Structure 1
């Protein structure tokens, strides 16, 4: 896969796409949300076939509420599995079905959860790395974002984000999507793991 330096460059490329997307989304978020309107964000209807009409119904069923402060339009699922690469370089992000206005830290915390990763070692999606390496990657992500967000703050938001995701997933499972019910316990376990290791993960690293 190349040297550690090359890996760091790829990580920075991924991380910088978040602030770039957020900067582009600021005018959109500001149109309706500066007054704190409680509307929900949904994809525009384009039902040109039975399959697309079904997709539209699905998207409307998973509309995501606005979160305050509504600084930008958040992707809400910004993770490697929604990234598109060309010649090993990040070219774009797909799957905006659940995008909604919210705080910058909401997307950044979820990206940290997936990329650092901020997950229990038994989580099958997590890479095998120690706390020191994860602390370094978290600092790298926060620095690459280029804002006031510090690792300690992102860890707090990540815990909140995972508990919120667990509640969202449980509601979907209760509505009939039983295949995702096991994710509820996984998200809650990962949130507890972050809380238990917050001091080590949030420390300053060289």
Structure 2
């Protein structure tokens, strides 16, 4: 099919993540199914680029089939095959920097009148428009730059709620021993220091929010699976709900030790 410059490219299905049905690459663009939230998300992406935050795709409107068009971010997803990219402390610090840059950039964003967001998680506040899925499966690591993709779940939230999920997923705070990487306190410290979270009360609250965030993922899967909604119904059947519940329990079991380490 032709791109916006009239050049013809084949559609290349893109995989990765848990919600990739209908996502294709066309030349240097990505086409995805649009939804009622798409205009608000595109306004958000336009704002981010206008203030100099480039670790996100650019919004390029809709194509002739009503799909949203985004700029293609070259690189590889860092989960699962490339999670070794997150092994150095410097990589987690870099992730923390990117998230802080995003949160600072979005602080000046005013949603368009009547903005509709895809609200899937509890709204822990409306401090910012949060990404809500800052995770290695949504981080594209390129040679020259890294970028977060899949902004369709952007919605009102708080900085700490957004950061808590990044801590859960990038450290990761997993109940599965095979998924753990090194000392969780040292990895948390690298990410949090990259973010610049210095306040002790905020660090203490962050640890508590990681357990709440993991539990929220379990509850989302349970609710959507009960309604028969894809792709969550499939993920529930594959055991992701059990995994997230176990992660929440694992965090609670270790909360005091990790909190002491992060504060110490």
Q: TM-score range by the shorter chain?
A: 0.7 to 0.9
Number of residue pairs the alignment of both structures matches: 171
Moved over 6 A (4+): none
1:92 counterpart SS class: strand
Task: Report the equivalent of 2:195.
Answer: 145
The equivalent of 2:100 in structure 1 is 19
1:11-43 alpha-carbon deviations (Å, 9 max, x no partner): 211111101111111122x558xxxx9x7514x
2:127 matched to 1:81?
no
Tell me how far apart the structure 2 counterparts of residues 93 and 76 of structure 1 sit (CA, whole Å): 11
Out of 192, 205, 208, the residue aligned to residue 156 of structure 1 is 208
Change (3 A) 1:22 1:173: same
Matches of 2:194 and 2:125 in 1, distance apart? Answer: 22
Matched, 1:165 2:221: no
Measured in 2, the distance between the counterparts of 1:142 and 1:90 equals 20
Higher relative CO (Cα under 8 Å, sequence separation at least 6) belongs to 1
| Structure 2 gaps, min length 5 | 1-81
The 5-angstrom pairing of residues 63-142 of structure 1 reads 63-64=119-120, 67-87=123-143, 90-122=145-177, 126-129=179-182, 133-142=183-192
Match of 1:8 among 83, 89, 101: 89
Query: Which structure: greater helix fraction?
Result: 1
CA-to-partner distance for each residue in 1:69-119, whole Å, 9 max, x for gaps? 3111111110111111122x5421100111111110111111100111111
Would the alpha carbon gap of residues 65 and 150 (structure 1) be closer, same or farther in structure 2, given more than 3 Å must change?
closer
Structure 1 distance, partners of 2:149, 2:221, is 20
TM-score normalised by length of structure 1: 0.72
Unaligned runs of 5+ in 1: 43-62
Q: Deviations over 1:42-72 (max 9, x none)?
A: 4xxxxxxxxxxxxxxxxxxxx4367243111
